[in-house]
A and B are shown apart, each in its own frame.
Chain A
Amino acid sequence: MKKLLSIIATICIGFALPAYADKPVLNVVMAGSPSGTFNSFNKELVKDLEKHYDITTIPGQSELKGVGVFNKVNGPVYVMVRSGMLNAKLLIKEKDPIITNISPKSMVMALGYYKTFCVNAGESVDYILFSNNRKTKIGFSDGITVSTKFLDNLNRVTNSKNIMVPYKGSGASVKGVIIGEIMGVMVTEAKTLKYINKGQISCKYSTNINSKFAISKKLNDNWFGWSYGNLIFGHTRNMSTDESTHLHNVITEILTDPTTNAGKKARKNMWDIKLVDQLELYLLYTQSKVDTLNLLK
């Protein structure tokens, strides 16, 4: 009942009351599906940021939609999005970038995450995905272009004719393995834990080059895509250099501390927190874009 009343109250007073607080104002666009991994992390980050800012969260529904909202908000605004990958994908298709005017001063955060190969519990990842002359259906959820590249290279290395099967999300692709619709899946590490714990899938090998079971080491192939890391970036708009730097410092402090809400969540998601300055964040963004372009070439 409390929740319902708070929703009604928010809707009723949303138009009427001007925001007033001593803390600086910050709009946070939740660019992700409402119950997705990105949004659940953003919710935790907002809890921590509220100690420093007067936060207004804006629903974004998806990455694409969220960036659209981010580009239209008046006033200081922050969004977390895979800008390097998305902008590169659009560039390949000769379309306008999804997020523009990116510079070191507008970058405040970077997180990396990796993919792992999984098969039905009891099956062997080595046999199903990495043995030669196979014709296995393998699920992906990163969009057609990126997934096709991974599969083409896997087929090249293993001399196989594996078939790519696209899914809308990681959860759906893992379910595809469980019901036997596909034999293997390449999926975000954080998404696998629940199913591994239930004994439904087995996972091995990662795109993380530092992992004991790095795919690049297993395949003994120099294609750079085997260690392609997905990077998520925090971007700002309508903020001065000082304001942006301050936000970068605050977020860095939050993520450095493993006891904060966002710090805990990032570690639980097995995300690689990039504790670097804004210039290096920009370089990471550029690198992510170039890597994706190379991947898609």
Chain B
Amino acid sequence: MSLDITFIILGIISGVISGMAPGVGMAVTMVAAYPLFLHLEVFQIVQFYLSAILVSQFVGSIVATYFAIPGEISSIPATEAGHSLFKSGKGSQAIFLAAYGSFIGGIVAFLFLWMLVNIIPNMLYMFTTMSVSIILCLIVVLLFISPCTTRLERYGFPVLGVFLGAIGEIPNDDTSFLNFGIEELRVGIPDMALLLGIYTLPLLFTLHYGEEKRNKDLVFSFSETVLKLKHTILGIVYAIYGFVIGFIPGVGIAVVSNTSYAIQKKFSKSRELSLLSAETSNNSASFSILLPLLIFGIPTSTSQAILYNILIEKDFAFGPLSFTEIVGPILYIIFFTSIIGFIIACPLAKLLSYIFVFTERYIYMTLAVLITCITLYIGYTTIDLPLYICTLIITFIFGYYYRDKDILRVVYFFIITPFLLENLHRLTFILNI
């Protein structure tokens, strides 16, 4: 894999947008960039994704601190501790510590990966149908038992996702399955139209019509910041914690961030240290959480599932051998984005926040219109426009109706199902059942 700075910069820009605009997380970013990905090489997509997710973790703390809005669940600690520091006149220190913690997290992730480079190729032998099937099933069970407010979200959404994902080609075969005699469904429901209709558009509409007035009295000055040795030591400790816990499939950045925050609060009442612990751990975890995908081909979040889907379409052979080929540039990207992320989330935080305040009302609708046009264009070029339009309308009605529910559960199961079925199907042959 060779480095392509264009796609790293594009990833950084996307990461800034996804981190700054509340609700526009990596899943939306991936859906928005999907049409672009169709034309890119695997290494360009990986570079884009990595840069975006790492930078979004840096930037998420800015809006959390200044405006008390968590861009993602992982930013809730920054909202609590960071914003209360801001209100008590320590806004500069909160912004600085969040950015510094994220920087430490990035550097620790870089060092961990660098040490793992020689061990990873040996992991190839763990990459069997059996182990992948077991891990996938565990993730599915974890998702089923994770807290949900309604039974519909807990059981109904995953079942719907599995059903939608099963439509199309038979696993490990080249004939169609469950297409109800509809020729257009021979290879399944178009991913892009479904993701846009069921999740992205309802979310962008909700965000657009729910906009609030933002505080424009923002502060940041380096002269008001203090860095002590304990900040660095604590940062390293929580970065290691984040990296290790994030590597466990199914855990997620939100869990890492919120548990670090809770642990640190038990040891000390300092809001600064609590903020630092959460921001450091979520940044190192934002990389280690990618390792199960890149090494074993197991997506553990919705944005990863979208990335997985794209890379599989590009015939990327997930596994340690492929990972070894891309690990060099990945190390570079982690290091590079950690520095850029710090600059964006610290000295540029105030400027970005002003830009966000003045452009927020246009961001969501612009994104919605742009992504819809591009999706329909793809449908048009693949001579599948009627199917795209039907999918978009039906899924939008569903997604908008259930906009207050965790609709990402449908999306995750929709994307993971073909992969899960393929592995389970093969496993029945391997076990000679």
Contact = CB atoms under 8 A, between A and B. Distances in A.
Nearest to B39: A7
Interface in B366-397: 374, 377, 380-384
A95 B319 CA distance: 37
A49 to B, nearest CB: 19
Secondary structure type dominating chain A contacts: mixed
A72 B125 CA distance: 45
A172 B173 contact: no
B186 A65 contact: yes
A11 B35 contact: yes
B314 interface: yes
B383 A166 contact: no
B425 A166 contact: yes
A200 to B, nearest CB: 9
A36 B171 CA distance: 18
B124 A179 contact: yes
**Considering residues A60, A73, A93, A166, which has the most beta carbons from chain B within 10 angstroms of its beta carbon?**
A166
B410 to A, nearest CB: 23
Contact of A69 (B316, B319, B383): B383
Contacts of A35: 42, 314-316
Given A14-B377, A68-B186, A180-B125, A61 B313 contact: yes
Contacts of B316: 35
A73 B6 contact: no
A182 B314 CA distance: 25
A95 B313 CA distance: 27
Nearest to B44: A3
B118 interface: no
B315 A165 contact: no
Interface in B346-377: 374, 377
B270 to A, nearest CB: 46
A164 B39 contact: no
B169 A172 contact: no
A179 B314 CA distance: 22
A163 to B, nearest CB: 6
Contact of B174 (A7, A15, A63, A172): A63
A61 B42 contact: no
Interface in B123-157: 124-125, 127-130
Interface in A168-210: 168-169, 171-172, 175-176, 178-182
Contacts of A249: none
Nearest to A56: B381
Interface string B156-184: 00000000000001111111100000011
B422 interface: yes
B315 A169 contact: yes
Given A34-B315, A36-B315, A137 B430 contact: yes
A230 to B, nearest CB: 12
Interface string A154-168: 000000000111111
Interface residues of B, number: 45
Nearest to B9: A1
A15 B383 contact: no
B183 A68 contact: yes
Interface in B184-236: 184, 186-187
Contacts of B88: none
Contacts of B432: 163
A63 B426 CA distance: 22
Contacts of A14: 377, 381
A64 interface: yes
Contacts, number: 114
Contact of B175 (A69, A73, A93, A175): A93
A59 interface: yes
B38 interface: yes
A144 interface: yes
Contact of A165 (B39, B187, B429): B429
A79 to B, nearest CB: 12
A89 B174 CA distance: 9
B381 A58 contact: yes
A163 B174 contact: no
B175 A166 contact: no
Given A62-B187, A65-B187, A137-B430, A4 B6 contact: yes
A90 B175 contact: yes
B262 interface: no
A89 B173 CA distance: 11
A269 interface: no
Interface string B36-77: 101100100000000000000000000000000000000000
A135 to B, nearest CB: 9
Contacts of A65: 186-187, 382
A72 B186 CA distance: 14
B169 A62 contact: yes
Given A1-B6, A69-B383, A34 B175 contact: no
B111 interface: no
Contacts of A175: 127, 317, 319, 321
Contacts of A33: 313-315
A35 B38 CA distance: 11
Per CB-CB distance, the 4 closest pairs between chain A and chain B, nearest first, are A35-B315, A166-B172, A72-B383, A65-B187
18 contacts: A1-B6, A7-B36, A33-B314, A35-B42, A58-B383, A59-B382, A64-B169, A89-B175, A143-B175, A164-B429, A167-B426, A168-B422, A175-B317, A176-B129, A178-B124, A179-B128, A181-B128, A181-B130
Given A64-B187, A168-B422, 12 more contacts: A3-B39, A4-B10, A33-B314, A34-B315, A35-B42, A65-B186, A68-B183, A68-B383, A69-B384, A95-B175, A141-B172, A143-B175
